[in-house]
Amino acid sequence: MGKYIHLVSFQINSPINHTILSWAAPEDNRLQALGDLGRWIDMARTLERGLFDAIFFADTPGVFDRYQDRMDEAIRYGVCWPTMDPVTLLGAIAGATERLGLAATVSTGPHHPYAVVRQLSTLDYMSGGRVGWNIVTGHLRGEHRAYGLAELPHDERYDRAEEYMEVCHALWNSVEDGAILADKAGGVFADPGKVKTLHHQGKYFNCSTVAPALPSPQGRPVLFQAGSSGRGQQFAMKHADVVFAIQPNLPGMKKFMDDFRAMARQLGRNPPPGVTLGIQPVIGGSEEEAQQKLNGIVERIPLEAAIARLSGTMGVDFSGMELDQPLAEMQTQGSQGLMKAFSNIVDDRPLTLREVAIRWGLSVGMPQIVGSPEQVADRIETIWRETGCHGFNVTPHVMPSSIGDFVDQVVPILQKRGIYPTEYIGRTLRENAELG
Ligand SMILES: Cc1cc2nc3c(=O)[nH]c(=O)nc-3n(C[C@H](O)[C@H](O)[C@H](O)COP(=O)(O)O)c2cc1C
């Protein structure tokens, strides 16, 4: 456990972040923000004022289409449809911020590793080393359909991603120290003897070239990973600086952390990657007011939209299943880690399909932290101390006010307790996130 709690703001470049129909809340500005860079930039500056390590964009470049084998619910309710590109948006945010990290999910499914290294290393170079990459392998069927790709079995997606990372690392390491001369008088830009060529011919990828971008201050982006199945965690132990996890409650978080540390020991990863736990603060003037706010959000969520989203993530069509029966763990090629976390005992009993769907509709399973600013700060501190996590991935329920409320009301309390920084620690994302 580090000295400070580290925070990342969990975003999606779509009509909602995670809360279904949040765009329909009178005070929500996401629909305007989608076409107005200024609003995103205002939000990013609020996060920077609150010393968040990074703004982080999740991304599923395809539509939730498992439920009843159609896209209607995703489209009708704007459940992450449309799904707009986050890296383009981060380019604009980079120009309007100075310290805030810029992290994006980019799936290894549709894009060649050369394209991804080129895109992210360009942004890392231009932003002074503030980029992070959430490596996902594409658990959403709609993504494969959109790109016309075969849907690989769960574990094979990770095998393919291993080869993917081999190519990425070779490209990141292609330019040796001292290679860039920029010698104006001599007319020599770089020493070809110090720029290594990669000749990769593998099972999934071919790549023969050199680095596509100038070496950035971080060398490579900070690497995030969010798979929580056994195979997903093995991948994370090898590649990730930070792992994003979603667990329904404190016992689930503690168990996740214990298992994660045990796996790190077993696989010789020392220190283990940091773990950032997903949470959704709901802040009110009092606990009662915050609870009322939460009730209002839940009431707005159409159940079929929530089940459609759950079906997409889990890779299972839940239509026609009994809503008030416990959600039984099922074989899936979708998210095995999240299936496991929500189909077992939660809060002393199994959750029903209806209950899990509502949690999905609210926050894809991230637990709500409901109360006054003081209570929210208490809860965050307790989870941080009891789990030893690196920090939190914070998803808002209404944009941008829940972010502003958190930054203005909760951050100062954490700072007063000495468990949150009072200024950015360094320049790069790696430095600010204390990742060594
Ligand atoms: C906090 C969190 C964020 C995630 N963000 C994305 C995302 O943006 N895009 C995506 O395709 N998958 C995302 N996932 C899914 C995982 O990356 C992973 O593909 C999925 O959980 C299946 O892997 P597993 O079976 O190893 O858990 C996320 C998962 C978690 C827990």
- What percent of the chain is predicted at pLDDT more than 90? 91
Closest Cα to atom 13, ligand 1: which residue?
Answer: 136
Q: What are the pocket residues of ligand 1 if the criterion is a CB atom closer than 6 Å to any ligand atom?
A: 58-60, 105, 107, 136-140, 154, 226-229, 232, 244-246, 278, 335-338, 393
Atom of ligand 1 nearest to the CA of 107: 11
Which pLDDT score is estimated for 328? Answer: 80
Please identify which residue in the block is written with the tokens 């329920």.
397
Write b or e for each residue in 75-92: b if 16 or more Cβ atoms lie within 10 A of its Cβ, otherwise e: eebbbbbebbebbebbbe
From ligand 1's centre to the CA of 262, what distance in Å?
21
Which pLDDT score is estimated for 329? Answer: 79
Which pLDDT score is estimated for 343? Answer: 85
Which pLDDT score is estimated for 340? Answer: 84
From ligand 1's centre to the CA of 137, what distance in Å?
8
Q: Which CATH architecture has domain 6-174+203-281+367-432?
A: Alpha-Beta Barrel (3.20)
Which pLDDT score is estimated for 332? Answer: 81
Closest Cα to atom 18, ligand 1: which residue?
Answer: 227
Which pLDDT score is estimated for 54? Answer: 98
For residues 227-249, average pLDDT: 94
Atom of ligand 1 nearest to the CA of 12: 8
From ligand 1's centre to the CA of 48, what distance in Å?
25
Which pLDDT score is estimated for 361? Answer: 96
For residues 12-33, average pLDDT: 96
pLDDT tops 90 at residue 374: yes
Which pLDDT score is estimated for 320? Answer: 85
Closest Cα to atom 28, ligand 1: which residue?
Answer: 226
Structural domain boundaries of the chain? 6-174+203-281+367-432
For residues 404-420, average pLDDT: 98
Band (208; pLDDT cuts 50, 70, 90): very high
Q: Tell me the per-residue pLDDT of 250-296, one tens digit each, with 9 for 90 and over.
A: 999 999 999 999 999 999 999 999 999 999 999 999 999 999 999 99
Atom of ligand 1 nearest to the CA of 138: 11
Q: Tell me the per-residue pLDDT of 302-352, one tens digit each, with 9 for 90 and over.
A: 999 999 999 999 999 999 889 998 888 778 888 888 888 888 777 778 889
Which pLDDT score is estimated for 259? Answer: 94
Atom of ligand 1 nearest to the CA of 225: 17
From ligand 1's centre to the CA of 288, what distance in Å?
33
From ligand 1's centre to the CA of 226, what distance in Å?
5
Rounded to an integer, what distance in angstroms lies between the CA atom of residue 129 and that of residue 5? 21
- What percent of the chain is predicted at pLDDT more than 70? 100
Q: Tell me the per-residue pLDDT of 130-150, one tens digit each, with 9 for 90 and over.
A: 999 999 999 899 999 999 999
pLDDT tops 80 at residue 33: yes
